[in-house]
Structure 1
Amino acid sequence: MIAHAPVAPRQGPSTPEELLTVPQVMARLQLGRSAVYDLLRTRQLALITLGRARRIPADALADFILTRLDQEAA
Structure 2
Amino acid sequence: MHSTPHAPPESNQDPRFAAPESKILLTVEEAADRLSLGRTSVFALIAANEIRSVKIGKARRIVASSLHDYVAAKLADVS
* TM-score for the superposition, normalised by structure 1: 0.71
* Count of residues paired in the alignment: 57
Give the match for residue 16 of structure 2: none
How far has the Cα of 1:30 moved from its partner? 0.7
**1:56 counterpart = 2:62:** yes
Residue identity opposite 2:51 in structure 1: L
Post-superposition, which runs of at least 4 consecutive aligned residues in structure 1 deviate over 2 A? none
Mapped contact 2:53–2:60 kept (Cα < 8 A): yes
How far has the Cα of 1:57 moved from its partner? 1.2
Question: Quick one: percent identity of the two aligned structures?
Answer: 35
Structure 2's unaligned 5+ residue stretches are 1-22
How far has the Cα of 1:44 moved from its partner? 0.8
CA distance in 2, matches of 1:19, 1:44: 16
Residue identity opposite 1:47 in structure 2: S
* TM-score for the superposition, normalised by structure 2: 0.67
Q: Which has the higher contact order (CA 8 A, sep 6+)?
A: 1
Compute the RMSD of aligned alpha carbons.
0.9
Residue identity opposite 1:54 in structure 2: R
